[in-house]
Structure 1
Amino acid sequence: MTDEGWAWSDAWIFVSVAIAGKVGRHRRSPLSRRPEGVRLADVLSTAEHLNHAVPVRQEIETGVRRLLAADLISVADGWFQLTGAGEQLWRDRPRSGLTTTVDSVHGVLGRRYPAQDGEWQLDDQEHTAAILEHSGRFRPPAPRRSVENTTANRSPS
């Protein structure tokens, strides 16, 4: 459906699913992973860790559609996980630091897979719930008052 090729955000979603699902050299055994996959809130949390931003709804939908069409991920009942082909891509990707992993995967996607849209739509309620769950995980701690501030602000009795 699209002729524009893979977007960087498509690779960002893929890497987020892989890392959130603990697919990697340090976790070779499928038995060490959650067999059902990961929820969207987990994908969003990992995406924010990678890029200091949360993907917008359009980036999520487009990325998931393309990754589904390429048979690199699967989504069932709100659970995201890599397929066998997705795990192979993850294992065979060029090794780099975490900061360039998305760039490396983006290059591999562009060389090996046509960018086509699959069928998938993100439900409004599921998206809202995932955003709320994600944002609830990262509340900044309340500022601590120093001892000097509390004694200096006391009125004499």
Structure 2
Amino acid sequence: MGESGWRWTDAWIFVSLVIASGAGRHRRAADSRRPEGVRLTDVISTADHLNQAIPERQDVEAAVRRLVGAGLVSVSDGWFRITPDGERLWRTRPSAGVGTTVDTVQGVLVRRHTPGSADWHLPEEDHAAAVQEYIVRSIPAPRRSPEGRTGR
């Protein structure tokens, strides 16, 4: 598939956005989710949990450009949202286990949608800040013993 076709990373970012936004929850109404969407940190966090890798800036940028251009995702003031068309794609995809969801969604994208090309840019410093926030949030808090107890 050429440069203009859907890539696995497009599906990875789409699935990450769906899960991070709560749109993937079974029978959850669209109006029960936060209308503002989710931040890049949440998308990166979910992507890492799905694939044990933090997506590179250029992968996020290219995926979001194609997804926005196809009308499946919107981005406004740093908030990422699934559009009604994106939600329809998610809800009508073939059922799959979590381990194969990204592959399944990529197949649906290839069969049902033409990738778009939106004019969207992810600055390096925004990506770096989101990755740093995710890493800091991922560090477990130190365990504390209750006051007044010794180390027994």
TM-score when scaled to structure 1?
Answer: 0.84
Superposed displacement of residue 55, structure 1: 0.5
Match of 2:72 in 1: 72
Superposed, 1:2-151 pairs within 5 Å as 3-139=3-139
Q: Report the number of matched residues.
A: 143
Structure 2 CA distance for aligned equivalents of residues 29 and 7 of structure 1: 29
Shift, 1:114, TM fit: 1.7
Distance 2:136 2:79 in 1: 20
Unaligned runs of 5+ in 1: 144-157
Displacement of 1:58 after TM fit? 0.9
Q: Distance in 1 between matches of 2:125 and 2:4?
A: 29
Q: Runs in 1 of length 4+ with deviation above 6 angstroms?
A: none
Q: Secondary structure at the match of 2:45?
A: helix
**Unpaired stretches in structure 2, ≥5 consecutive residues:** 144-152
d(CA) in 1 for partners of 2:111, 2:26: 26
Query: SS where residue 74 of structure 2 aligns?
Result: strand
Question: Please, what TM-score do these two structures have when normalized by structure 2?
Answer: 0.87
In structure 2, distance between residues paired with 1:140 and 1:95: 34
2:47, 2:129 → 1: CA distance?
Answer: 16
Report the 3-state secondary structure (helix = DSSP H, G, I; strand = E; otherwise coil) of the residue aligned with 1:81: strand
Match of 1:153 in 2: none
